[in-house]
Amino acid sequence: MKSSQSCLNRLLCAVLVLCVSPIWAADTNSTADHSKFEQLQKEFETGPEVTKACLECHTEAAKQLHKTSHWTWAFENQLTGQTLGKKNVLNNFCVATATNWPRCTSCHIGYGWKDDSFDLSSEQNVDCLVCHDTTGTYKKFPTGAGHPNYEPKKWPPKKGKLRQPPDLQKVAQSVGKPGRSNCGACHFYGGGGDGVKHGHLDSSMHKPNRATDVHMDNEGLNFSCQTCHTTGGHEIAGSRYTPKPSDERGVVIPGQKDQNRATCESCHGSAAHGEEANPKLNSHTDKVACVTCHVPKFARGGRKTKMWWDWSTAGQKGADGKPLVKKKDGYAVYHFKKGDFTWEENVIPEYYWFDGEVRYTLFGEQIDDSGVVPINSIQGSYEDPDSRIWPFKVMRGKQPYDTKNKILGVPHLFGKDPDAFWKSFDWGRALKAGLMARGKEFSGEYGFVETEYFWPITHMVAPKENALGCADCHARNGRLVGVSGFYMPGRDRNETLDLIGWLMVLGTLGGVSVHGLGRMVSKKRRNS
């Protein structure tokens, strides 16, 4: 029965690939040549001018985008009741977006979010080009509040490199469906650099090989992001705030109402392994997530990911009196603006039970500073039928907090004003300004507390030949040594079970011996 189901799943998966592929490959056969559009036959001075022209035909596009968390940077978690999103949550990378808007919003799909007065209802503020540029020449300026630079400008500052502005007319006339690089412009470089934040998304995913990601393999299936992160009305499937630990819908077929394919099961089903595979594999899917075996390591595309960030050491100068920067293997391990870092590649994930519920330590929430403070906490257990064992990147570090009020700090880092940390290197001023901007008073006393942040690993899916084997987990010190709540053969010892097992072995041997002896005696009697 399972074999038949597996064959059916494979057939459906093949059909889905054939059905889905034209969606991302259809740009070359587009029915619209934007270079012929009258609205785009002019020189554009700014991004919003381009948007205005786009909206003359795509009348509903901005209205649709305004409803998405990509635009609002806000998310209401129905499961926990928490208000999340980039503009609300804290993290242990650059800590918070508040008061640092022009730097952070270089990854927002809009123009001009430089402070709290940004108009989220403005249609012309939507940046169409950042997702639909196909020339690869359109880039937001890192400190431009979402705008590209409209005239030649130096970046990085004081380095003498001149960054040319994009040809907005050419870009506007060349728009198409989003490609991997459009999404990657932000998602590969989140947290301040290549591979910093996610660990399973970095620049190696522009053109990964089969070993790095079997689905996005540039010479193979070559999936785009939208192949799994299906879209409709500019809403994109999949969310790290509400990830699905398991998907009971089975294979999603064309015509089905819910076309969300941002889960493994939506293409592969829950019995994905074929007849040639060990039958035990399919019986594991009720407790083990697909990515647990199929993402054996992350940051394995040749780029390292940041695993530790210590803000407490920021602000140091070298013996020469100049701001200190230390590098190792091409990666900054200390930067005077940000402190100490640890980078790793080919990282073995940490494994935990996970039921999809993620609770955040919200801004202003009192913390227990006697131990490690969780930026977020994951829920799940063996007893819960909806839980699966999942792989995680756990980002750790030290960040500032108000030691008297017991709340995590919101440092004002970026800006030319004297309160900005990267201007004054005065934590007291930076924390006071940041907390005041969020409506909180600063006690004037601060310290640094260790934090941890859980990131579910879902990308860099390895082909079956590189997936984990039985011995990787069923061993005394295997991958799942820290996952509790159940007995695992090969990992755990139970004297009662061991005794029963040995009794069964001895009983079997005894039974076979008695049976063989009986047959020998019987044969001898018949011959006599």
At 45-89, the pLDDT tens digits run 999 999 999 999 999 999 999 999 999 999 999 999 999 999 999
SS3 call for 235 = strand
The residues pairing with 397 across neighbouring beta strands, listed in sequence order, are 309, 451
Please tell me the pTM assigned to this model. 0.88
User: CA 148, 216, 299: angle at the middle one, nearest 5?
Assistant: 75
Say what the pLDDT of residue 524 is. 83
| Mean pLDDT, residues 417-426 taken together | 96
Query: Tokens for 299?
Result: 């940051």
| Mean pLDDT, residues 107-118 taken together | 95
What percentage of the chain carries pLDDT values higher than 90?
82
Lowest mean pLDDT among 389-403, 441-455, 483-497: 483-497
Say what the pLDDT of residue 16 is. 46
Cα gap 467→460, rounded to integer Å: 11
| Mean pLDDT, residues 326-349 taken together | 97
* Measured CA distances, 483 to 31, 285, 487 (Å): 53, 16, 10
Task: Categorize the per-residue pLDDT at 264 as very low, low, confident or very high, splitting at 50, 70 and 90.
Answer: very high
Q: Give the pLDDT confidence of 138-196 residue by residue, as tens digits.
A: 999 999 999 999 999 998 887 778 999 999 999 999 999 999 999 999 999 999 899 99
Say what the pLDDT of residue 30 is. 86
| Mean pLDDT, residues 389-403 taken together | 98
Task: Categorize the per-residue pLDDT at 130 as very low, low, confident or very high, splitting at 50, 70 and 90.
Answer: very high
SS3 call for 171 = helix
- pLDDT higher than 80, residue 434: yes
Find which of 10-19, 232-241, 292-301 is predicted with most confidence, using mean pLDDT: 292-301
Q: How does the average pLDDT of the chain come out, rounded?
A: 92
- pLDDT higher than 50, residue 26: no
What percentage of the chain carries pLDDT values higher than 70?
95
Contact 363, 377 (CB under 8 A): no
Say what the pLDDT of residue 523 is. 84
Contact 241, 84 (CB under 8 A): yes
- pLDDT higher than 50, residue 455: yes
Cα gap 192→180, rounded to integer Å: 19
Say what the pLDDT of residue 214 is. 97
| Mean pLDDT, residues 457-482 taken together | 96
Query: Tokens for 1?
Result: 């029965």
Query: Tokens for 410?
Result: 């919101």
Q: Give the pLDDT confidence of 489-501 residue by residue, as tens digits.
A: 999 987 887 788 8
Query: Tokens for 84?
Result: 């999340």
Task: Categorize the per-residue pLDDT at 27 as very low, low, confident or very high, splitting at 50, 70 and 90.
Answer: low
Task: Categorize the per-residue pLDDT at 25 as very low, low, confident or very high, splitting at 50, 70 and 90.
Answer: very low
Say what the pLDDT of residue 28 is. 65
Query: Tokens for 173?
Result: 């006339």
Q: Give the pLDDT confidence of 243-255 residue by residue, as tens digits.
A: 998 898 989 988 8
Q: Which residues of 442-471 are buried (b: 16+ CB within 10 A; e: fewer)?
A: beeebebbbbbbbbbbbbbbbeeebbbeee
